[in-house]
Amino acid sequence: METPPPQQGVVKKKETRGRKPKPKDEHAKALKEGRKTQQQQHDQQQQQQQQHQPSVDEKYTQWKSLVPVLYDWLANHNLVWPSLSCRWGPQLEQATYKNRQRLYLSEQTDGSVPNTLVIANCEVVKPRVAAAEHISQFNEEARSPFVKKYKTIIHPGEVNRIRELPQNSKIVATHTDSPDVLVWDVESQPNRHAVLGATNSRPDLILTGHQDNAEFALAMCPTEPYVLSGGKDKTVVLWSIEDHITSAATDSKSGGSIIKQNSKSGEGNDKTADGPTVGPRGIYCGHEDTVEDVTFCPSSAQEFCSVGDDSCLILWDARVGSSPVVKVEKAHNADLHCVDWNPHDDNLILTGSADNSVRMFDRRNLTTNGVGSPIHKFEGHKAAVLCVQWSPDKSSVFGSSAEDGLLNIWDYEKVGKKIERTGKSISSPPGLFFQHAGHRDKVVDFHWNAYDPWTIVSVSDDCESTGGGGTLQIWRMSDLIYRPEDEVLAELEKFKSHVVACASKTEK
């Protein structure tokens, strides 16, 4: 199956995160063929230079052979359409061997059917339950039995980003190719059948305030029901939806919507403006180009930061006005794509960039209008970094995903420590301790699971590599990789003595 062509109005920046662009007509195809002929010699030279480097398929085959050793659990789910965002929702049920949890995804289609926001039910297998032979025998072309679609919302435009409200994760906000942020009560929204010509589902709330498209920069506040967004208009916009939602303790099973509104949400029409709108609490100006990502300070609804295509990292405080508190002019050497604030330490901020690196800043050491002085540069990716996120399980651990198809797990406490094995030091980037190589093209989004420690969901736009619509993977590395070394050695010693005892019984 070919990768679907992009919809009209897709710009260059968008293509770096979504599908690869395709020629739109025969003329473009002919031009492409012509360029192929001209570049044949150049391509052959490049192939000769790269002969010693393993191909994507060879790397994937090598990774797959190591799955039983590296992972405690792995579920591979081939998607019908690419997804640009994936998020964990609330946990629904706990059982002996696995837990059931909501999962939010998007479907970015070619226009033959509507774009959708998908609510799925996911079975998360508990640690040390899955057998090694089971997790190694997955079929990359099949749907996973652990992921089942529960509900479909027909989205007005493609879903570029999904964020859940920490105070009630049944409420999510989405970004699309428009200036508005759309807010959905996913439990009260009716299930829709995504067929060509179907009317859009109607958002429960529409947040207005941007003057141009806002596509990727979106965040929910951990402490208050606030929403933050950034866009092409170079602004950061803050909303409060406190007056529009009922108590987080509300049981939506009673049939009512968690979001207060005059009209019932549901099968609306294409005029999304018919939904109730909320104006901004504040608009913040300081960037000189598109704002690519935003995040709140974990302990304050008034403090937040943003990054953009102007290479700037900006810290804001709503209590002191709409101008930057600190503006780091040159946080990276290229566009910044992502930012995350450490939930365990308010001073640490991560940024990811098109310069292929992740940088960690201490906000106590930042100077306005100066060149950024990161505490450390993490350089393990070979292409633009698209997503960074701190682990909820250990304060020094974070993940980064990139256009090189890798999802790297880092621990800044390991920086400066050489890992010795059989007298030889392992040459890997400082701080890198795990590399998930199960995706065969750019990993556009991932999310740590707050309910199941060390469990991650990730999505990649690898339609061309897989012949499918992209790949979703849910995985958890073996705990022998991240636990304290003395604990691991003691367990392995116990295991060794058990094997020896079993072997001696067999010999008798």
- Residue 312 predicted with pLDDT over 50: yes
Give the C-alpha separation, 374 to 111, whole Å.
43
Q: What is the pLDDT of residue 58?
A: 83
202 and 75 in a common domain: yes
157 and 296 in a common domain: no
Residue 159 near residue 216 (C-beta atoms within 8 A): no
- Residue 486 predicted with pLDDT over 50: yes
Domain boundary among 392, 408, 436: 436
Domain boundary among 384, 404, 436: 436
Q: Where is pLDDT greater, at 220 or 130?
A: 220
Q: Where is pLDDT greater, at 495 or 270?
A: 495
Among 168-172, 348-352, 425-429, the range scoring the smallest mean pLDDT is 425-429
Mean pLDDT within 172-200: 95
Domain boundary among 408, 436, 464: 436
In a domain, 402, yes or no: yes
84 and 188 in a common domain: yes
In a domain, 277, yes or no: no
- Residue 268 predicted with pLDDT over 90: no
Q: What is the pLDDT of residue 370?
A: 58
Q: Where is pLDDT greater, at 56 or 28?
A: 56
Among 18-27, 190-199, 270-279, 326-335, the range scoring the smallest mean pLDDT is 18-27
In a domain, 157, yes or no: yes
Residue 185 in 3-state DSSP?
Answer: strand
Please report, as a single letter, which amino acid is at residue 444: V
Give the C-alpha separation, 236 to 224, whole Å.
18
430 and 289 in a common domain: yes
Q: Where is pLDDT greater, at 503 or 364?
A: 364
Rounded percentage of the chain residues whose pLDDT exceeds 90: 64
- Rounded to the nearest integer, the mean pLDDT of the chain is 84
Where b means 16+ CB within 10 Å and e means fewer, 68-97 reads: bebbbbbbbbbbebbbbbbbbbebeeeeee
Which pLDDT band holds residue 211 (cuts at 50, 70, 90)? Answer: very high
368 and 346 in a common domain: yes
Give the C-alpha separation, 221 to 206, whole Å.
17
pLDDT in tens, 377-433: 999 999 999 999 999 999 999 999 999 999 999 999 999 776 555 445 557 899 999
Q: What is the pLDDT of residue 253?
A: 43
- Residue 75 predicted with pLDDT over 70: yes
- Max mean pLDDT among 39-53, 237-251, 377-391 falls in 377-391
In a domain, 331, yes or no: yes
Q: What is the pLDDT of residue 480?
A: 92
Phi, then psi, of 60 in degrees rounded to 5: -65, -45
Please report, as a single letter, which amino acid is at residue 508: K
Give the C-alpha separation, 447 to 304, whole Å.
20
- The residue count of the chain comes to 508
- Residue 124 predicted with pLDDT over 90: yes
Instruction: Give the closest residue to 133 by CA, choosing from 181, 79, 65, 188.
Output: 65
Which pLDDT band holds residue 502 (cuts at 50, 70, 90)? Answer: low
- Residue 208 predicted with pLDDT over 60: yes
Residue 100 near residue 123 (C-beta atoms within 8 A): yes
Mean pLDDT within 67-80: 92
Residues 6+ apart with CB under 8 A from 66: none
Please report, as a single letter, which amino acid is at residue 414: K
| Token pair in block for residue 507 | 């010999």
Give the chain's end-to-end CA distance (angstroms, integer): 58
| Token pair in block for residue 215 | 């596509």
Per-residue 3-state assignment (H helix, E strand, C coil) for 174-190 = EECCCCCEEEEECCCCC
In a domain, 91, yes or no: yes
432 and 293 in a common domain: yes
406 and 291 in a common domain: yes
Which pLDDT band holds residue 488 (cuts at 50, 70, 90)? Answer: confident
Name beta bridge partners: 306. Answer: 294, 314
Domain that holds residue 100: 71-208+446-501
Q: What is the pLDDT of residue 497?
A: 74
Residues 6+ apart with CB under 8 A from 42: none
| Token pair in block for residue 96 | 């002996």
- Residue 484 predicted with pLDDT over 80: yes
Q: What is the pLDDT of residue 243?
A: 87
Q: What is the pLDDT of residue 274?
A: 61
Which pLDDT band holds residue 114 (cuts at 50, 70, 90)? Answer: very high
Give the C-alpha separation, 302 to 297, whole Å.
8
pLDDT in tens, 287-310: 999 999 999 999 999 999 999 999
In a domain, 409, yes or no: yes
459 and 400 in a common domain: no
Q: What is the pLDDT of residue 282?
A: 97
Give the C-alpha separation, 255 to 242, whole Å.
21
Q: What is the pLDDT of residue 35?
A: 42
301 and 192 in a common domain: no
202 and 76 in a common domain: yes
Q: What is the pLDDT of residue 256?
A: 52
CATH code at position 299: 2.130.10.10
Residue 178 near residue 200 (C-beta atoms within 8 A): no
Among 84-88, 183-187, 301-305, 502-506, the range scoring the smallest mean pLDDT is 502-506
496 and 356 in a common domain: no
- Residue 103 predicted with pLDDT over 50: yes
| Token pair in block for residue 348 | 């640490």
Which pLDDT band holds residue 347 (cuts at 50, 70, 90)? Answer: very high
In a domain, 490, yes or no: yes
204 and 81 in a common domain: yes
In a domain, 3, yes or no: no
Mean pLDDT within 55-79: 89
> Into how many domains does the chain fold?
2
Name beta bridge partners: 105. Answer: 86, 118
Q: What is the pLDDT of residue 270?
A: 41
